[in-house]
C-alpha cells in the first residue's frame, strides 16, 4: 500500500476579492458550534439556565482566541512579534508601510487552553458561581473542538509529521513529495477517543461527585497524548531543532502534572452554587 497524496487548496473561497476563507477557519468554527451544542445539552440535563452558558461562551471565545494568538507569539515567534507588536492582534502583515491581509497566521493550542481557564475563572468570579463545576463540564466538550482544529490543520496541509521513511503515510503535495506521518489525524482521533471516554464517565458513572476529576482527566490524558504525538510531528520553528523536547512537549508537561494533581486532590461534591 502506497502513500496517500494530499493536494487540497486550503482556500475555499476568496471573499470580496481579498479575504480568503480557509478550511482551518471553517473547521475551527464547526468544532466550537458542536461543543457549544453539547454543552447546551449538559446544562439542560443538569437544569442550569442555558443563558448562563451563553454568557460563559462569550468569555470563552475571547479567552481562547486571545490565548491562542498570544501563545503563538510568545512561545513560538517572540523575536518577530517583539519587533512587530501591531501584528499580534491585526490580521495583516506590515512590510515597508504596505498592509497585506494574512489572517491570524499563528495560533497555539496551549495558549488557547490557558486563555480558556483564565476566562472561566474570570466568569465564575464575576457571576459568583463554581469554577470547578464549569471546568468539569467544559472538559467534556473541549476535545471536540480540538479534534476539528486538527482536522482543519490537515485540510490546510499544515502541522504535519516527520517523514515515515517508507512508502506509507501522507504526501502533502503543496509542501514536498515526502510521505509523512499525518499527525493531525493522529491527534484528532486521540481527542475524539478522549471525548468518548469523558462522555461515558459523565453519563454512566458518579464521577461528577468528585469535583475536578473530569477536568483532571482531560488535562492528564489529552496532554499526555499530545506529548507522545509530538515525537512524530515536524518541528514548527527552527529553534526546536536544538531542543531535547520540542516546545509543544515542554508546554504539555505542566498541564499533565496539574491534571494528575487534580485527580489526587479532588474532593467529593457538596451542593454548590452553579448559577448566577
Provide φ and ψ at 29, rounded to 5°.
-65, -40
Helix/strand/coil for 274: coil
226 in a labelled binding site: no
Count the neighbouring beta carbons within 10 Å of the beta carbon of residue 96.
4
Provide φ and ψ at 171, rounded to 5°.
-95, 115
Question: What does each C-alpha distance from 268 to 75, 133, 260 come to in angstroms?
Answer: 37, 12, 16
Q: How far is the C-alpha of 255 from the C-alpha of 236, rounded, in Å?
A: 20
DSSP string covering 190-233, please? Answer: HHHHHHHHHHHHHHHS-GGGEETHHHHHHHHHHHHHHHHHGGGB
The DSSP output letter for 235 is: P
Count the neighbouring beta carbons within 10 Å of the beta carbon of residue 120.
21
Annotated binding-site members: 150
Amino acid at each position: 500500500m502506497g502513500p496517500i497524496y494530499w493536494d487540497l487548496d486550503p482556500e475555499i473561497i476568496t471573499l470580496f476579492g481579498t479575504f480568503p476563507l480557509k478550511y482551518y477557519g471553517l473547521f475551527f468554527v464547526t468544532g466550537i458550534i458542536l461543543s457549544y451544542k453539547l454543552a447546551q445539552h449538559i446544562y439542560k440535563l443538569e437544569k442550569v439556565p442555558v443563558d448562563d452558558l451563553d454568557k460563559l461562551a462569550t468569555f470563552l471565545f475571547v479567552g481562547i482566541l486571545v490565548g491562542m494568538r498570544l501563545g503563538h507569539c510568545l512561545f513560538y515567534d517572540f523575536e518577530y512579534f517583539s519587533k512587530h507588536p501591531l501584528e499580534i492582534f491585526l490580521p495583516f502583515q506590515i512590510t515597508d508601510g504596505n498592509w497585506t491581509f494574512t489572517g491570524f497566521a499563528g495560533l497555539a493550542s496551549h495558549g488557547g487552553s490557558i486563555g480558556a481557564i483564565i476566562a472561566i475563572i474570570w466568569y465564575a468570579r464575576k457571576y459568583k458561581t463554581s469554577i470547578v463545576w464549569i471546568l468539569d463540564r467544559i472538559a467534556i466538550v473541549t476535545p471536540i473542538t480540538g479534534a476539528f482544529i486538527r482536522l482543519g490543520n490537515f485540510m490546510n496541509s499544515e502541522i504535519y509529521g516527520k517523514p515515515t521513511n517508507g512508502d506509507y503515510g501522507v504526501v502533502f503535495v503543496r509542501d514536498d513529495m515526502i510521505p509523512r506521518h499525518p499527525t493531525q489525524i493522529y491527534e484528532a482521533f486521540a481527542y475524539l477517543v478522549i471525548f468518548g471516554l469523558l462522555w461515558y464517565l459523565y453519563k454512566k458513572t458518579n464521577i461528577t461527585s468528585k469535583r475536578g476529576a473530569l477536568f483532571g482527566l482531560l488535562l492528564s490524558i489529552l496532554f499526555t497524548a499530545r506529548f507522545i504525538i509530538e515525537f512524530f510531528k515536524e518541528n514548527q520553528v527552527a529553534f526546536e531543532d536544538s531542543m531535547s523536547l520540542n516546545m509543544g512537549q515542554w508546554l504539555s508537561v505542566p498541564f499533565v502534572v496539574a491534571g494528575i494533581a487534580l485527580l489526587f486532590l479532588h474532593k467529593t461534591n457538596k451542593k454548590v452554587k452553579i448559577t448566577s
